Amino acid sequence: MMRDSFSSFHPIVNFIYFTCVILFTMIFMHPLCLGLSLCCAFIYSVYLNGRKAVKFNFVFLLPMLLIMALVNPAFNHEGATILAYLKNGNPLTLESILYGVAAAAMIVAIVAWFSCYNAVMTSDKFIYLFGRIIPALSLILSMVLRFVPRFKEQIRSISAAQRCVGRDVSNGGVLQRARHGVTILSIMVTWALENAIETADSMKSRGYGLPGRTAFFVFRFDSRDKKALAFLLGAGAYIIAGTFAEGLYFRYFPSIKGTFTPYTWSIVLVYLALSLMPVAINTWYDYKWRFLMEGERSFEEGT
């Protein structure tokens, strides 16, 4: 497993990177941008989560992309190029198919980016950034995001315990299974309620909400963060300026039309650099690390 050096940057750098990348993916419908974003999200998610990400991308995201691309022309019939007519009389258009592909690529790219976000932006980083500005909301957000995995974990352990006494959902006939399922759910709800009260008590006894508290982790904003932030803001500003100058103009309806001028390519290039920033940083730090190790080894051998 490779080390993610980008995670060791200051949280503000991580956060601005993900905001930029996710927002740009959501806003730009230019096929170059979408394709690029999808590829970069794929690469970074595989870099971060390894084999798990490959499995997730191919088993879950790829079918989702295909289904969504196919569903769109069934409901959307706009477009100048009529390929055929559907059974009910509405036209099947080339534009609606391509738009479906684009929209599907966008959603899949966003899901992949969020899987990267979850790996890099841990909840302590989020609270470090927003704990002072929006204390209640940032706490709630980090708790809510933790909610689902935590419940999943708990339900798995309850289910395992029930299986030991022969009362799991995999034991018995249909009716019995349903009964066991309800029992597990009831145990789960009881646990959740009790846990909520315990959490509240625990937080209160540790002085939650008192003034002058600090974060558990101390993040330093050093020169490499400064450089990374400058790059992020510069690239982001260039891309945003480019969209306002119609450099990324692309339309799907009524007929497909878009710009592919050198200016567009320059924006896309900056976008590529921005999206691949963490991968580039990781590769550079890996190289540096290996170089240092080798230097040390050759130094040892030399003496």
Partner 1 sequence: MMKITKGKIIAAAVICALLAASYIMGGGYAVKDGPPAEAAGAQTAAREKTDAVPAETDEVSVETRKVPGETEAVPGEAEAVPGEAGGEKAERGSSEQGGGRLSAEEKLALAESMGEGSSEGVEKGSKDYSRLQGMELDPGTGKDIYLTDPVPEGRPVPVEPEDAAISDRQLTCTLSVRCDTILNNMDALDPEKTELVPADGAIFATAKVTFYEGESVFNVLLREMKKNKIHMEFVNTPIYNSAYIEGINNLYEFDCGELSGWMFKVNGWFPNYGCSRYQLKEGDVVEWVYTCDLGRDVDGYYATGGE
Instruction: Enumerate the β-bridge partners of residue 251.
Output: 257
Q: Does 90 bind partner 1 (CB under 8 A)?
A: yes
For partner 1, give the closer residue by CB, 82 or 182: 82
**Among positions 55, 78, 269, 296, the unique one binding partner 1 when judged by CB under 8 A:** 78
d(CA 266, CA 285) in angstroms, rounded, equals 27
CB of 265 to partner 1, least distance (A): 23
Which range touches partner 1 (CB under 8 A), out of 37-45, 90-98, 143-151, 188-196? 90-98
Min dist CB 78 to partner 1, Å, is 6
Which of 151, 238, 253, 285 touches partner 1 by CB under 8 A? 253
Based on the shown chain and the rule CB under 8 A, indicate whether residue 263 belongs to the binding site for partner 1. Answer: no
Interaction mask 198-227, partner 1, x per CB under 8 A: ------------------------------
Q: Which residue's structure tokens are 């995999």?
A: 170
Contact residue for partner 1 among 70, 80, 193, 241 (CB under 8 A) = 80
Kindly tell me which residue out of 9, 21, 40, 79 binds partner 1, with binding defined by CB under 8 A: 79
> Does position 82 bind partner 1 by CB under 8 A?
yes
Q: Is 254 in the site for partner 1 (CB under 8 A)?
A: yes
Is there binding between residue 302 and partner 1 (CB under 8 A)? no
Residue keyed to tokens 């009831």: 186
Residue 217 CB, nearest distance to partner 1 (Å)?
26
In this structure, are residues 113 and 21 in contact, taking their beta carbons and an 8 Å threshold?
yes
Report whether 233 contacts 15 (CB < 8 A). Answer: no
Q: Which is nearer to partner 1, 81 or 122 (CB)?
A: 81
SS3 string, 217-280, reads: CCCCCCHHHHHHHHHHHHHHHHHHHHHHCCCCCEECCCCCEECCCHHHHHHHHHHHHHHCHHHH
**203 Cβ neighbours under 8 A, 6+ residues apart:** none
Closer Cβ to partner 1, 90 or 195, answer by number: 90
8 A C-beta contact, residue 254 and residue 296: no
CA distance 56 to 209: 39
Q: Are 81 and 94 in contact (CB under 8 A)?
A: yes
> Tokens at residue 223, please?
């020169």
Q: Which of 12, 68, 77, 135 binds partner 1 (CB under 8 A)?
A: 77
The distance of closest approach from Cβ of residue 120 to partner 1 in the complex, given in angstroms and rounded to an integer, is: 29
15/20 Cα distance (integer angstroms): 9
* C-alpha of 205 from chain center: 35
Residue choice 1, 51, 87, 89 for contact with partner 1 (CB under 8 A): 89
Interacting residues with partner 1 (CB under 8 A): 77-80, 82, 85, 88-91, 93, 251, 253-254
